[in-house]
Amino acid sequence: MENFRPFALSLAGFDPSGGAGVLSDIKTFEAHDAQGFGVTTAITYQTAEDFIGMNWMSADVVTAQLLPLIEKYPLSAMKIGIVEDFHLMSNWIGLIKGFFPTCKIVLDPVLRASAGYDFHDEKTIKWLDKVLNSIDLITPNWKEMEILAKGGDVLEKARELSFKTHVLLKGGHHPTEKGNDILIYKGKEVMIEGKDINAYEKHGSGCVLSSAIAAQLAHGKSIEEACRRGKDYIENFLESDPSRLGQHTVLVQHD
């Protein structure tokens, strides 16, 4: 029987605990009835509690993983997690768009591990601004946007970036509005309010949200609707288990 599930790709790091990165993304894709693929950008050494270290995959190795997939499967969406170099990332985005011009691309700009490990220096981060026109959505949390704002106003920086792509400024680390996200495009803001839930701190929650949104985009949802449905999914995930590793369950129906 032909498979009618849309194809979604995670370009991200490998986390042996399965709480973040490629493994987490594929779990999320599958829970949203999307066929999940994974291309590994780095091998990390970590548990749900501790980040120990990592090794980056070379650009050639990443491309070698990517090419056989895009030559065979029509991708509807791609989620990008940690990458060593945003300039190299632009080449991979160009490759994807060359094959599939309508493929939706969601970037979760993982700049620092929760344990404090910095993935990028300032020179590398500068390249991020140059690739935003090529993606559909960026999903920074408050702390990541503080890094991008370089000490400036976080919300103003998000508005600035929104003239290049949609920005979902997540509220999990917001100093006063925790749990409420703001979707911004060309300066226009839409609040995506969080529910009053019994949330447990989770390893990889940013990965789960961004891949849930990517899966919804693969199903043809608008960016706002995909963000709202992704919000429903991550809230269910945060309530699912008191441990640092959440449970992926089918929550959102596709109509």
Residues 6+ apart with CB under 8 A from 213: 79, 106, 137, 139, 168, 226, 227, 229, 230
Domain assignment present for 181 = yes
Q: Is the pTM of this model over 0.75?
A: yes
Within-domain flag for 247 = no
**pLDDT at residue 191, as a whole number:** 94
Largest CA distance in the chain: 55
Tell which phi-psi region holds residue 243, choosing left (phi > 0), alpha (psi between -120 and 50) or beta. beta
Q: How many domains does the chain have?
A: 1
Q: Does residue 251 form part of some domain?
A: no
The pLDDT score that the predictor gives to residue 1 is 39
In-domain check, residue 2? no
- Confirm whether 248 is domain-assigned: no
Range of the domain at 231: 7-239
Q: Are 154 and 142 in contact (CB under 8 A)?
A: yes
Q: What is the pLDDT of residue 143?
A: 87
User: Residue 158: which of 142, 180, 178 has the closest Cα?
Assistant: 142
Q: How far is it, in rounded angstroms, from Cα 27 to Cα 8?
A: 11
**255 within a domain of the structure (yes/no):** no
Is 149 inside a domain boundary? yes
Which CATH number characterizes residue 230's domain?
A: 3.40.1190.20
Whether residue 103 lies inside any domain: the answer is: yes
Q: What is the pLDDT of residue 115?
A: 47
pLDDT tens digits in sequence order for the chain, 255 residues long: 355 899 999 999 999 999 999 999 999 999 999 999 999 999 999 998 888 989 999 999 999 999 999 999 999 999 999 998 888 899 999 999 999 999 999 999 877 655 454 555 556 667 787 889 999 999 999 888 888 888 889 999 999 999 999 999 998 656 666 678 999 999 999 999 888 777 778 788 889 999 999 999 999 999 999 999 999 999 888 888 788 888 888 765 555
